[in-house]
């Protein structure tokens, strides 16, 4: 396999980021190419992406982690997450399917509940319970290190 380049997104990547997010069926809200890191093949194909998304009150969320189905299992998701975590933003939240929690534990994220949840994530969990066929979990990362 040809190694992709992990880099900050460019304006010209915006439509390809949206297309990848739609392809993998994840939340399409709050997509701003300026916040994204992308994995791009030498021919220009965008095969993975992710962002750190700001919310009111200074809350930051690791979000929109997407890998093209044809390129899964090659470490691209991990590479995107590592590139985003290199910014050192703490605390950093994410919301994911509960089955993905072990993946994010490897990056020092831990589940948070109750009073530890920022209001925006409480609302998303409530909506998820009503409308999604999967269980969601909110996780938070407070340290700068990467454990594997």
* Mean local confidence (pLDDT), 54-79: 94
Contacts of 25 (CB under 8 A, 6+ apart): none
Q: What is the per-residue pLDDT across 6-58, written as a single tens digit (0 to 9) for each?
A: 999 999 999 999 999 999 998 888 899 999 999 999 999 999 999 999 998 88
Per-residue pLDDT at 121: 85
Q: What is the domain partition of the chain in residue ranges?
A: 5-141
Lateral strand order in the sheet of 59-67: 5-8, 36-40, 46-55, 59-67, 92-97, 136-141, 109-112
Q: What is the pLDDT of residue 123?
A: 82
The full DSSP string for 58-115 is: GEEEEEEEEE-GGGTTSSHHHHHHHHHHTT--SSEEEEEEGGGHHHHHTTTEEEE-GG
Which two structure tokens, joined as six digits, stand for 55? 């919310």
Q: Which fold has domain 5-141?
A: Aminopeptidase (3.40.630)
Q: In the predicted model, is pLDDT for residue 77 greater than 50?
A: yes
> Residue 116 carries which DSSP code?
G
pLDDT for res 147 = 41
pLDDT tens for residues 95-143?
A: 988 899 999 999 999 999 888 888 888 887 777 777 776 788 899 998 6
Torsional sign, CA 16, 22, 23, 27: positive
**C-alpha to C-alpha distance for 109 and 102, rounded to whole angstroms:** 9
pLDDT at 12: 96
CA dist list (Å): 53 to 32, 75, 105: 8, 22, 20
**Angle value at C-alpha 3, between 107 and 64, nearest 5 degrees:** 45
């Amino acid at each position: 396999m040809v190694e992709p380049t992990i880099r900050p997104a460019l304006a010209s990547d915006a439509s390809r980021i949206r297309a990848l997010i739609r392809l993998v069926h994840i939340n399409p809200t709050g997509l701003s190419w300026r916040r994204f890191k992308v994995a791009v093949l030498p021919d220009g194909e965008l095969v993975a992406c992710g962002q750190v998304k700001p919310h009111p009150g200074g809350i930051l969320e690791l979000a929109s982690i997407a890998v093209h189905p044809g390129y899964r299992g090659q470490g691209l998701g991990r590479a995107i997450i590592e590139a985003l975590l290199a910014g050192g933003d703490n605390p950093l939240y994410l919301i994911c399917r509960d089955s993905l929690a072990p993946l994010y534990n490897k990056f020092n994220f831990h589940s948070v509940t109750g009073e530890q949840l920022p209001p925006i994530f409480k609302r998303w969990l409530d909506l998820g319970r009503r409308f999604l066929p999967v269980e969601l979990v909110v996780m938070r990362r407070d340290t700068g290190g990467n454990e594997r």
